[in-house]
Amino acid sequence: MAIVLGPNRYGKAEVRVVHVDRAAGRDGPDRVRDWNVSTSLAGDLAAVHLSGDNAHALPTDTQKNTVYALAKKLGGIEPEAFGLELAAHYTGSQEAISRARIAIEEYPWAPLGPGGHSFARSGQYTRTTTVIEDRELGRSVVSGVADLIVLNTTGSQFWGFPRDEYTTLADAYDRMLATTVSASWRFRTPDADWGPAFTAAFAALTDAFTQTPSYSLQQTLYGMGSAVLAAVPELCEVQLALPNKHHFVVDLAPFGLANEDEVYYAADRPYGLIEGTVLADDAPDAGIAWS
């Protein structure tokens, strides 16, 4: 048996960059982009691992600098556009680097007050994107949303499930349904109207959550993914991970009280976890998009 090097990549993770666009001048409004950028490079890096020859290892410190420099050069553009430029920079300028992966989390801020210069972090969700450029395999863009916590107080059921020796769960004909949405949608091509695409996908996702009659969180997941694909033709695939954040009706009978779906215990762990993919049947092969 010999030992060999397999797939590898390296980069700088969680570069926190905030860009302020002051183009509107003294009276504003300014525009704020608040990003957490992680970059990863791959290519001809065997010698770095095997012999300590770093001739191909552009430092991660340089990668950090590059994020800041391009934030200046490119201005407060959409994160997908930034990722594409940044990825192209590496594959275009470093011969040893054949693939670059750029992941960005964007934290939205809402205007605060009338002055045009004040903001409050919205906290409602995180916008995400992952751009990959491979010199041979091309480019991919996967965007999405995370940390979005949503709740339906009615309209969810769960019954008709199989029962085995370890099943004690009762049928539910009207339960609370809450989840923290993590959704990622793949673009057919690395060329779209990024801002409107996000807005439309987000709206479709939340509309489907609120309006889908649900016999399971799986069904809700499928409804959410389908709605996103139907709303944004530039997309071909949606992956969702939906934790079932259980809200249990508290048994108040020992205290002589009826609990008519009023008082709930919001549990931390364990939680259900529903993961699934919804696709257009003509979706191009994903290639490296999810790597």
Residue 12 annotated as catalytic? yes
Q: Name the residue with tokens 């700088």.
A: 12
Q: Are 40 and 11 in contact (CB under 8 A)?
A: yes
Using DSSP's 3-state secondary structure scheme, residue 161 falls into: coil
Residues 155-184 that bind a second copy (CB under 8 A): 155, 157-169, 176
To a second copy, the closest distance from the beta carbon of 100 in angstroms equals 14
Q: Which of 60, 62, 126, 206 is catalytic?
A: 60
Annotation marks residue 64 as catalytic: no
Q: Catalytic: 246?
A: yes
Toward a second copy, which CB reaches closer, 136 or 258? 258
Q: Which of residues 236-255 bind a second copy (CB under 8 A)?
A: 237, 239, 243-244, 247, 250, 252, 254-255
Question: Residue 146 Cβ, how far from a second copy at the closest point, in Å?
Answer: 12
Residue 141 beta carbon to a second copy: minimum distance, rounded to whole angstroms: 18
Is 262 among the residues that bind a second copy (CB under 8 A)? yes
Q: Give the whole-angstrom CA distance, residue 148 versus residue 179.
A: 8
Q: Does 193 bind a second copy (CB under 8 A)?
A: no
The answer to whether residues 194 and 80 touch, using CB atoms and an 8 Å cutoff, is: yes
- d(C-alpha 64, C-alpha 73), whole Å: 15
73 counts as binding a second copy under rule CB under 8 A = yes
Q: Give yes or no for residue 82 binding a second copy (CB under 8 A).
A: no
Residues 6 or more apart whose Cβ sits within 8 Å of residue 239 = 183, 184, 185, 186, 275, 276, 277, 290
Question: What is the three-class DSSP state of 175?
Answer: strand
**Nearer to a second copy among residue 21 and residue 193 (C-beta):** 21
Which residue do the tokens 């489907």 mark? 208
**Binders in 213-232 for a second copy, by CB under 8 A:** 214-219, 221-222, 225-226, 229-230
Cα–Cα dist 291/177, whole Å: 31
Bridge partners of residue 183, in order along the sequence = 145, 240
Residue among 125, 265, 85, 273 nearest 206 (CA) = 125
Other CB atoms within a 10 A radius of the CB of residue 149 amount to 12
Determine if 60 is a binding residue for a second copy (CB under 8 A): yes
Q: What are 185's strand-pairing partners?
A: 143, 238
> Pick from 92, 191, 275, 284: which binds a second copy (CB under 8 A)?
275
Q: Which of residues 122-151 bind a second copy (CB under 8 A)?
A: 122-125, 147-151
Binding residues among 91-120 for a second copy as defined by CB under 8 A: 93-94, 96, 109-110, 112-113, 115, 117-120
Nearer to a second copy, 157 or 200 (CB): 157
Q: Which stretch binds a second copy (CB under 8 A): 26-34, 78-86, 136-144, 189-197?
A: 26-34
Q: Are 15 and 40 in contact (CB under 8 A)?
A: no
Where does this chain touch a second copy (CB under 8 A) — which range of 78-86, 130-138, 191-199, 276-284? Answer: 276-284
Separation in Å, CA 34 to CA 51, 118, 120: 39, 14, 12
Output 190 or 243, the one with its CB closest to a second copy. 243
Give the residue numbers annotated as catalytic, written as ranges: 12, 60, 246
